Amino acid sequence: MIANTEDMSGGSGHDEPVREPSFQPQDDNVRKHKLHMIAGRIAELRRDRGWTQAELARRAGLNRNVVNTTENETSFPTRENLARMASALGIELNELTDVFVIEAHHRAPAALSLTEAKGRPGYMAVQINRMLKTATALKIFQLIAEDDADAADRG
């Protein structure tokens, strides 16, 4: 996909087309790490379902070699092949490709923490650190806004 941006041509007055970043990371170490994370996630999800590589390939409409080379980290799959594997596994593509976000959440503290607010009876500190559906996250924000409005009315 090509998008025109502001003048980035160094003053020539012509808009230069800017290409979207490639799905495959350019830095080799980042690329290898991303492939490692994606391969591990695919293998984990496949095994959780009790499937062989051949079964995942069949459900995704791919050659078994595509699944094998992905899981063995010998070939970076195309976005289309990743989308097919994700669909066969019953997940969204971004659940495979957003591996750095997922990795950060795995390293993070507990998903939910409630702590009694000292000196403030009836209040608790809440910490949520987990991936949520957009609708769920928006409901939480709505509840917080309502709580803030109630506190402002009382204050």
Can you give the C-alpha Rg of the chain in angstroms? Answer: 22
CATH architecture, domain 28-106: Orthogonal Bundle (1.10)
Instruction: Give which of 23, 143, 141 is closest to 82, Cα–Cα.
Output: 23
Residues of the chain where predicted confidence (pLDDT) is lower than 70: 1-27, 99-111, 155
* Model confidence pLDDT, tens digit, residues 127-150: 887 778 889 889 988 998 888 887
- Residue ranges covered by each domain of the chain: 28-106, 108-154
* Model confidence pLDDT, tens digit, residues 118-128: 888 888 888 88
pTM across the whole model: 0.50
